[in-house]
């Protein structure tokens, strides 16, 4: 057992460092995804909170008429109705058309219930692109990003399993946090955040691997189907049953009225709410209509639907939420990963667990350097490398928090008419992160920790103030009070900013205390400052 534990300890240490920084980035940006809609709302202060649709059937028909005028000859239209935490507060229409060269053209509309154009919000990368960073990494091709994310997740899984085996006293030390004992305190903190959130960490990592697993199938696809631009399309159509498009015959026909279809939808899929409607070959006698439920309404991450013949209203097929046991397992794991089904309380728990995952990696990274510092014994080269890693840790861990704060700053301060504004929000994030890493490289690590932790606290504490100075969607207006509904989505984001600021202010204070009173081993417990908590 001891040799297994030792070999696992070696594996845990090295896989941890190798992918630690990547995984920290994935955990931080990924956690933000549990509030993607709320961040979208914060970053688009021009938008109202979601409109309520009074008459869905009429709204769908109006939207489809608008889409038909807007993109004549489209292959399909998809109309999304707004609901709580939907990606847009308006009715959204996505149409696929074909241009003169036979290439596909995608257009989209944002509409109000009466079919008029919805207000245009500022150009922003929003919560959507912030959380997408956790597998796209922004500056690299999509396929490469997915591969990197998948590899990192596999290593994370190895680190979790080897970490459990390495942990000597998982039950004896369950409640133990020894303060001001240097490496011991860091190990305790690392163990606590890891063990407390273990079910979440195992779930999120394993389901994360599954979410990008098809990326690793590409060599298999190529071996089976040959290499061409259409390979992936062919495979996807076969794997996921992307229904073969029926060619329109050019004979015009009206769609049956939506009310009839929605009534059948309710009868065929009881308990499912209306999410979106897809019309293929609109205006043609071959038109089909699929009425979908809402993905996030069940723990199984799937959109159930009823498919109709558009001209007659005949039911072609019904696809419930759970199609088969195998796809059910996959869909549940993906559903658990994204947590779309989570209500407000569970969403807080998801977010906190995600942040504790980031804390697990951050404490692990610090622990890595502490352990090695003990074994240096005057080796100058090893010390130089270690100091480099210590500096990078500061820039990566604390710097990323400042950078994400800067991302929100950019949303408020970049000129509204700026070209590629959304891109520049993301550039701001990465430029500020780079600046933090450079700052960490030129400052002494202990100073850099204090300055960047305090910086992170300052940036997040000032965000609600910046919000109040630049928009009317500040806490004074958004907090729900007796007699006014407020806007809890936007208020929640501001409140989380303050909580995050408080956490980092505390961490900065602890780091400063430690700096002020260094190297006094075995201090009495009462006056000992606690270890910095992420």
Partner 1 sequence: MSWIAAFALALPGFAGLCLSTSKHQRAVFGSALAAPQTRRYRALGWALLCASIVWCMAMFGWARGAVAVCGVVTIAAVSVIGLVTFRPHWVRYLCWVPRPAGDTPAP
- Site residues (vs partner 1, CB under 8 A): 172, 174-177, 179, 192, 196-197, 199-200, 203, 299, 332, 336, 339, 341-342, 345-346, 349-350, 352-353, 356, 530
CB of 527 to partner 1, least distance (A): 13
Q: Which two tokens stand for residue 6?
A: 């030792």
Residue 285 CA: distances (Å) to CA of 289, 312, 382: 12, 9, 74
How many other CB atoms sit within 10 Å of the CB of residue 513? 15
- Nearest residue (CB) to partner 1, 239 versus 502: 502
Residues 64 and 255: beta-carbon distance below 8 Å: yes
- Nearest residue (CB) to partner 1, 29 versus 197: 197
CB of 353 to partner 1, least distance (A): 6
Whole-angstrom distance, CA of residue 394 vs CA of residue 436: 8
- Nearest residue (CB) to partner 1, 174 versus 217: 174
- Nearest residue (CB) to partner 1, 50 versus 192: 192
- Choose among 135, 121, 68, 534: nearest CA to 282: 68
Whole-angstrom distance, CA of residue 349 vs CA of residue 490: 19
CB of 340 to partner 1, least distance (A): 12
- Choose among 184, 182, 204: nearest CA to 192: 184
- Choose among 78, 69, 216, 197: nearest CA to 146: 216
CB of 192 to partner 1, least distance (A): 6
Angle, CA 316 vertex, CA 314 and CA 321 arms, to 5°: 125
Q: In angstroms, how far is CA 387 from the centroid of its own chain? A: 32
How many other CB atoms sit within 10 Å of the CB of residue 250? 9
Supply φ then ψ for residue 93, to 5 degrees. -120, 125
- Nearest residue (CB) to partner 1, 13 versus 201: 201
CB of 324 to partner 1, least distance (A): 17
CB of 488 to partner 1, least distance (A): 17
CB of 180 to partner 1, least distance (A): 11
CA dihedral 346, 347, 353, 357 (to 10 degrees): 150
- Choose among 257, 212, 218: nearest CA to 235: 218
- Choose among 129, 195, 136: nearest CA to 363: 195
- Nearest residue (CB) to partner 1, 352 versus 435: 352
Whole-angstrom distance, CA of residue 46 vs CA of residue 417: 14
User: Can you name the residues that pair with 317 across neighbouring β-strands?
Assistant: 307
- Nearest residue (CB) to partner 1, 157 versus 221: 157
- Nearest residue (CB) to partner 1, 202 versus 444: 202
CB of 358 to partner 1, least distance (A): 14
CB of 508 to partner 1, least distance (A): 18
- Nearest residue (CB) to partner 1, 158 versus 332: 332
CB of 140 to partner 1, least distance (A): 33
Half-sphere exposure of 359 (CA within 13 A, CB side): 27
- Nearest residue (CB) to partner 1, 172 versus 374: 172
Residues 492 and 351: beta-carbon distance below 8 Å: no
Whole-angstrom distance, CA of residue 225 vs CA of residue 422: 38
Whole-angstrom distance, CA of residue 384 vs CA of residue 378: 11
- Nearest residue (CB) to partner 1, 264 versus 322: 322
CB of 406 to partner 1, least distance (A): 29
């Amino acid at each position: 057992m001891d040799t297994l534990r030792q070999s696992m300890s070696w594996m845990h240490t090295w896989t941890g460092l190798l992918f630690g920084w990547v995984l920290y980035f994935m955990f931080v940006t990924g956690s933000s995804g549990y509030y993607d809609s709320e961040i979208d709302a914060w970053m688009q202060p021009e938008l109202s909170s979601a409109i309520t649709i009074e008459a869905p059937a009429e709204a769908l028909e109006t939207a489809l008429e608008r889409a038909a005028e807007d993109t004549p000859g489209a292959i399909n239209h998809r109309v999304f109705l707004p609901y709580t935490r939907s990606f847009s507060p308006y009715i959204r229409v996505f149409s696929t058309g074909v241009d003169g060269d036979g290439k596909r053209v995608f257009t989209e509309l944002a509409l109000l219930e009466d079919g008029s154009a919805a207000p245009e919000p500022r150009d922003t990368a929003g919560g959507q692109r912030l959380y997408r960073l956790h597998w796209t990494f922004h500056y690299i091709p999509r396929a490469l990003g997915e591969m990197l994310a998948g590899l990192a997740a596999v290593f994370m899984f190895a680190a979790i399993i080897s970490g459990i085996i390495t942990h000597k006293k998982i039950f004896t030390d369950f409640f133990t946090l020894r303060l001001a004992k240097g490496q011991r305190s860091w190990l305790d903190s690392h163990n606590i955040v890891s063990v407390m959130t273990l079910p979440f960490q195992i779930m999120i990592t394993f389901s994360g691997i599954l979410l990008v697993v098809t990326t690793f199938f590409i060599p298999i696809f190529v071996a089976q189907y040959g290499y061409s631009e259409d390979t992936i399309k062919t495979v996807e159509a076969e794997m996921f049953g992307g229904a073969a498009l029926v060619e329109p015959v050019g004979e015009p026909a009206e769609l049956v009225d939506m009310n009839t279809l929605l009534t059948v939808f309710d009868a065929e899929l009881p308990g499912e709410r209306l999410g979106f409607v897809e019309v293929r070959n609109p205006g043609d006698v071959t038109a089909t209509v699929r009425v979908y439920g809402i993905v996030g309404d069940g723990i199984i991450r799937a959109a159930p639907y009823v498919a109709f013949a558009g001209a007659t209203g005949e039911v072609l097929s019904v696809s419930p939420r759970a199609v088969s046991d195998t796809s059910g397992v996959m869909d549940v794991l993906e559903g658990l990963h994204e947590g779309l089904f989570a209500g407000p309380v569970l969403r807080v728990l998801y977010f906190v667990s995600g942040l504790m995952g980031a804390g697990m990696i951050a404490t692990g990274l610090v622990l890595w350097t502490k352990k090695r510092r003990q074994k240096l014994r005057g080796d100058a080269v090893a010390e130089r490398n270690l100091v480099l890693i210590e500096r990078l840790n500061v820039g990566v861990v604390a710097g990323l928090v400042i950078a994400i704060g800067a991302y929100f700053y950019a949303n408020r301060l970049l000129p509204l008419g700026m070209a590629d504004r959304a891109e520049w929000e993301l550039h701001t994030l990465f430029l500020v992160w780079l600046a933090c890493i450079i700052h960490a490289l030129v400052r002494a690590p202990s100073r850099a920790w204090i300055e960047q932790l305090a910086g992170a606290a300052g940036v997040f504490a000032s965000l609600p103030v910046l919000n109040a100075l630049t928009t009317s969607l500040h806490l004074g207006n958004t907090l729900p009070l007796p007699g006014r509904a407020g806007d809890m989505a936007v208020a929640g984001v501001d409140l989380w900013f303050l909580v995050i600021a408080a956490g980092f202010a505390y961490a900065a204070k602890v780091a400063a205390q430690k700096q002020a009173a260094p190297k006094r081993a075995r201090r009495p417990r009462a006056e000992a400052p606690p270890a910095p908590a992420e």
